Structure 1
Amino acid sequence: MTELLGLIFSPWTEKARWALDVRRVPYTFRHYKPLIGEPALRAKLGRLTGRVSVPVLTTDDGRVIADSADIARWADGRGDGPTLFPAEHEAEIARFIELSERALNAGRALSLSRMLADDEALADMAPPPIRRALGPLASRLGALGVRRTLRKYDGHTADLEAHRRALVEALEEIRAALALKARPDAGPKTLLGGFTFADITVSQALVGVMPPAELKLSPAGRRSFTDPELRERYTDLIAWRDALYGAFRAR
């Protein structure tokens, strides 16, 4: 059976899961455990050094795919459902993937920086058995993991103002792209005239503004990933994202 290794609270994992689900491709999901699961992940990817991350798909014939967009492309060739990568929209989808990545990278830095000031959210990062065993010290373990992630993706220092500008610029691009689309007779707007991977990837750009209800975060974790000021500024984009979930994401 095809297996997807990922994090239940990760928008990158959500991109892959949504693509597999909307194409109705059978798979099992396995939750990745950071730090303790890294040696096995490196062995699976054949990468002893450098950065490794999830999601990672292992197909039933043993192929290993380590990128959410590549996983979605693989899913698009199987199962049935909406065509996620129509040939006539390849360039536009690539542009929207890049736009989503800019927003997600900025949102991750901002959200994790907020988390460092929230002991409850930090403690929730530890697995429940470890959290129970460590008690108040669990937040310290969570802080180690968060700082490690920030170093992994953002170096030793984070220019939070630069990240905030990057996130706002990406959100404005999304708003402008949607403004160009006519409102359909039924259902939410889509970026390319029909539901594609462009909609999946761009919808995840809003995780650092206000995560969707479907993303598995604790209340404290959800608090860290919510930016109150941007949430109020981009209520239209949040409503669009939630409408996409309602129309195209199985509950």
Structure 2
Amino acid sequence: MTELLGLVFSPWTEKARWALDVRGVPYTFRHYQPLVGEPALRVKLRRLTGRVSVPVLTADDGRVLADSADIARWADGRGAGPTLFPAEHEAEIARLIDLSERALAAGRARALSRMLADDEALAEMAPRPIRRAHVALAARLGGLGVRRTLRKYGGHEDGAEAHLRTMLAALDELRATLARSSPPGDGPRTLLGRFTFADIAMSQVLVNVAPPAALKLGAASRRSFSDPDLRDRYADLIAWRDELYRAFRTS
């Protein structure tokens, strides 16, 4: 069976899972363990050097896909359900995917920087047996992992203000695109007048503003991924995201 390797709290993994689920494509989900799982991941991707990350899908035909949008396109050719990449909207979907990626990278840098100041959140990043045995050690290990992630993906050196500007620009564009879209006959408003992968991609930007209730995060980690100022400023977008989940994220 098709296997998806990912992180349950990652918005990139959620983009891939949502696409697979909404198309009704059967798959097995396997949780990726950073550091410990990296050697096997490199073998799977045939990439012995350079950066590797999840989600990674191993299809039942042997194909290996290592990008959430590529996984969604693969899912769009299988199963049933809403067409995620309608041909008439290809250019706009590509634009919104790119916007989502830039905003998610900025949001990750901001959230992980907040996490570095929260030992309880850092401890939640460590494996549960270590947390149970030694909370202080778990926090130190979590800190090592968070710093490694910041170095791995870069961008943190751009500074908090640059990341905030990226987030604000993406959220303002999301609001403007929604305002331009056709009102729905029923259900939530969508970015292109119908549910597509653009909605999935852009809804994930809000993970770093107010994580959805369905996201599996510890209380302290949820605190690190939340931004009270942006949450109040973009309450309308959070409400849109939550309505989108209720309408299209049933699996």
**Would you say the 8 A contact 2:121–2:224 is kept in 1?**
yes
Q: Tell me, what secondary structure is at the counterpart of 1:207?
A: helix
**Would you say the 8 A contact 1:124–1:218 is kept in 2?**
yes
Aligned to 1:187: 187
Aligned to 1:8: 8
Q: Tell me, what secondary structure is at the counterpart of 1:29?
A: strand
The percentage of counterpart residues that share the same residue type is: 76
CA drift of 1:155 comes to: 5.3
1:122-161 per-position Cα deviation (integer Å, ceiling 9, x unaligned): 0000010122233322101000000000011125734111
Q: Are 2:132 and 1:132 aligned?
A: yes
**Would you say the 8 A contact 2:104–2:205 is kept in 1?**
yes
1:22-63 per-position Cα deviation (integer Å, ceiling 9, x unaligned): 000000000000000000000100001100000000011211
Aligned to 1:228: 228
Aligned to 1:157: 157
1:65-99 per-position Cα deviation (integer Å, ceiling 9, x unaligned): 00000000000000000000001111010001001
Q: AA paired with 2:165?
A: R
Q: AA paired with 1:25?
A: V
**Would you say the 8 A contact 2:184–2:193 is kept in 1?**
no
Number of residue pairs matched? Answer: 251
Aligned to 2:41: 41
Q: Tell me, what secondary structure is at the counterpart of 2:4?
A: strand
Q: Tell me, what secondary structure is at the counterpart of 1:157?
A: helix
**Would you say the 8 A contact 1:5–1:32 is kept in 2?**
yes
Q: AA paired with 2:142?
A: G
Aligned to 1:116: 116
TM-score (normalizing by structure 2): 0.98
CA distance in 2, matches of 1:161, 1:152: 20
Aligned to 1:67: 67
Q: AA paired with 2:239?
A: A
Q: AA paired with 2:116?
A: L
CA distance in 1, matches of 2:74, 2:182: 30
Aligned to 2:166: 166
Q: AA paired with 1:218?
A: G
TM-score (normalizing by structure 1): 0.98
Q: Tell me, what secondary structure is at the counterpart of 1:30?
A: strand
Query: After alignment, is 214-223 or 150-159 more displaced?
Result: 150-159
**Would you say the 8 A contact 2:2–2:57 is kept in 1?**
yes
Q: AA paired with 2:44?
A: K
Q: Which runs of 4+ in 1 moved over 4 A?
A: none
**Would you say the 8 A contact 1:85–1:93 is kept in 2?**
yes
**Would you say the 8 A contact 2:182–2:192 is kept in 1?**
no
CA distance in 1, matches of 2:116, 2:197: 33
Structure 2 unaligned regions, length at least 5 = none
Aligned to 1:245: 245
CA distance in 2, matches of 1:215, 1:70: 22
Q: AA paired with 2:159?
A: D
1:194-246 per-position Cα deviation (integer Å, ceiling 9, x unaligned): 11101000100111111111111111111000000000000000000000000
CA drift of 1:164 comes to: 0.6
CA distance in 1, matches of 2:82, 2:95: 20
Query: After alignment, is 10-19 or 205-214 more displaced?
Result: 205-214
Q: 1:106 to 1:88 in 2, by over 3 A?
A: same
CA distance in 2, matches of 1:156, 1:28: 34
CA distance in 1, matches of 2:158, 2:125: 21
Aligned to 2:175: 175
